[in-house]
Structure 1
Amino acid sequence: MSPEPGWARCLDAAFGPPLPGEYRAAPEDFLVDEELDFAPEGRGEHLWLRIEKREQTTLDVVRTLSRLCGVTPREVGYSGMKDRFAVTRQWLSVHLPGRDAPEMLETRLSALGIAVLEQGRHPRKLKRGVHRANRFALRVGGEAVDAESFSARWQALCEGGVPNYFGPQRFGAQGRNLQRARALLARGWRKRDDRQGMLLSSARSFLFNELLSARLTAGCWAMPLAGDTLMLDGTQSLFAVECVDAAIKRRAAELDLHPIGPLWGQGEGESRGEVESAAPARRFELRLEQAHPALCEGIERAGAKSAWRALRLRLGTPELTPLGSGARLEFSLPRGSFATAVLRELLAHGDFAPWPAA
């Protein structure tokens, strides 16, 4: 596996490394709108609020709603965590059985930089990960955007998909979350030391990125291999393929099917076997375990259950709009995917620079 975090990009072979560029110069340059497949029913114990926030985390809003509504933070629900240095829209819920929202709640939230866009009652709490996608509108600039190759790089991502890397925010400044995760897993993960599971998630995300980079370097990140499990685009439906025939190749080329990689956990290390005798897809997982045994074993001991994530993502309804200075990019991504995975293919930026050696 390649040293971290020099993770491979999919466009370098055709266009060379990206040129320097800028994004998120101001919060208004990074707009995120959470998309649900349903709306509040209009009745029930939970008050749902669709809010717009600026320069606040989702957990900041949770704490504010908790205080203003007189409930515990656990009684406030949300589906996804949204960036701080951005303008973001999302739904949250507050458990208010048998009582109305506090007086002037919208006004008090507005004074704190939180605008209420919609609201309604619903029988159930908003749970994590139920939103379908996030819609992004990003303003980018700099040498990379001014180059003639920029629109061609963008078109290549629209047609061929994007490596579904976890973004740098998952690992903290200069990878410090991962460093902390290594230390915690080495002495034994405990919930009280990682209450939000951020460090455990950082370690699993790192392993996924490592495997994706290895497959990208080998030229098989988007095209299925024998023994792969594939995910149907836009769903969590999975099926295994022992033989990659012409129909599978065609559907993969059309971005209808994507190979998947593991989010490491209990069950992933079973039936390890020898690398040379394993199915082509399985060899990458075995090499990952050989390269990072302490992380893999620590995650399994922590009790995390193995899960799966697509190696590639499709940009939903992508748009590129030239501006007087720079450009505006618009696209949707499935929940759990990062806009920074798209941007790192288009421009070089300090957020995507290698971490210092540990």
Structure 2
Amino acid sequence: MSIQLVEVSKTFGAFQALKPLNLTIEKGEFVAILGPSGCGKTTLLRMLAGFEQPTAGEIRMNRTTVTKPGFSLPPEKRRIGMVFQAFALWPHMNVTEHIRFPIRHHKETPSYIREREQERIASVLQMVGLEQHGTRMPHELSGGQKQRVAIARAIAAEPSLLLMDEPLSSLDAMLRMDMRREIQAIHRQTGTAIVYVTHDQGEALAMADRIVVMKDGRIEQIGTPQDIYLRPETEFVAKFVSKANLIRGRWNRDSFVPIGTDGTVQWQGGRVADHFKSCGMYPVRPDQFKLGTPEQAGISGEVTNVQFQGKEFHYHVRSEDGQWEISSPLPFQLHDKVSLHLPAEEQL
């Protein structure tokens, strides 16, 4: 299923939750909607699901309009599956019954699935690794198993679109990593388009084909994970996704001279977005900077905080122009004088 959002906006009273936006999701694509709380990503997901109507604009699925002001095709007629943050399992149903429910009750379930119900249930149980747990009740399952049941229920009727609303946020860190792999595997096996809402940059970067970064109800940038991380187009994307340091200085075409240097330090930036050039900034991720001794040419600074992280240290370094975050394998002490360098291979 391909999806098009055309000039879609949403207002709640005097509050505009979504500014007019345009977005196309291709058949079988995994798209992550990434942004902080209140940016409009869940509102967007609810409109795709049919739980909300847009104030303006329209949403098309396979070139058919499913929602616009005054009209909305009911959720049960959209052939979608949805996975919620809080699992939303029914306490009186076992695992098999959860999977059977959409097969029997969703109006858009294909006839070939209805006719082979037991075969489909067995296939889905195997897909999510719960083939030995079909008779268990929700209270007998771990958090990760409950999330697998929620995913299995969502994909049982073979939806054309799977909507996921921060499905891993209630799980612990190690379990989230495991579930990322599970979701990726399910996406590869089913070929279903996925729209995945999250505020976790790591989840979006690890799983999505494309990322839509949102802020204050509007789209800041759309691109592949590599584009979003390596080539941010706005200050917000640079800070929110890449955790970049925004170094101030002056641009001369594609060459940048940072503040706090004698003018001999120049960084190349042919692929730096025009926005940063117009603002006199250069985005540098914490892992791109290299720390050196004070006598080396670079941005002079002082270490103001040190955190040991196993294979590397996380530093805060204060310079003439501000405080920067640096990741480095080299050991420095609190209050050490250092210089910051951007190696040629790290320059954009």
Larger Rg: 2
Task: Answer 1 or 2: which has greater strand percent.
Answer: 2
TM-score (structure 2 length as normaliser): 0.23
Task: Answer 1 or 2: which has greater helix percent.
Answer: 1
The structure whose RCO (Cα within 8 Å, separation 6+) is larger is: 1
TM-score (structure 1 length as normaliser): 0.23
